[in-house]
Amino acid sequence: MRVSDWAKREGFNVQTVWQWCREDRMPVPFERLDSGTIIIHDPKYEATAAMPHAGGRVVCYARVSSSDQKDDLARQADRLKAFAIGMGVDKPEVVTEVGSGMNDRRRKLNRLLADPTVGTIVVEHRDRLARMNAGLVESALKAQGRRLVVVDDTELDDDLVRDMTEVLTSFCARLYGRRAAKHKAASALKAARDA
């Protein structure tokens, strides 16, 4: 479990928990991953929450939007793997992908969704699976007897701005080409702010 989740459940300030981890004074076991992420293994929560198995393989799916976020992709994959191991999965598979969440042109995700041997797909946030209509994908998986597990199902505050930027970039890419899309989207956002 992530530091912020454990602090929230236990009623501690997140900064206090971070300090305890730095000073090795945590009252429960914790682990530092190579990426620097800290995963807390509180037996109280790990014993009661079991990974929902739908049968079949458990695959952790990590995605970022652009290749300059490769470090974030590695950290995201580490967090997902730690979550799955903490919930009792022996050998979770990890699939990483770089691609936009706004379209369906993600080969690795399409392969996972089409593979009936994949029983559970674990993602960090819903938007890592799809920016829009992730609920439809979840319903389709459920109808096949498969599951989608979202590690952190809370909505982030800045998601609306990021979603709007990605929608604008996607539309600009179709109109002006991929190379000019970011600049055109930034100009459109600036015009909207100045209006």
Hey, which residues are catalytic here? 65
Q: Tokens 């009792």, residue? A: 88
159 Cβ contact partners less than 8 Å away, ≥ 6 residues apart? 127
- Alpha-carbon gap, residue 155 to 124, rounded angstroms: 12
Q: Tokens 């945590």, residue? A: 26
**188: exposed, middle or buried (C-beta count within 10 Å: 0-12, 13-18, 19+)?**
middle
Structure tokens at 117: 């041997």
In which element (H, E) is residue 147 found?
strand 147-150
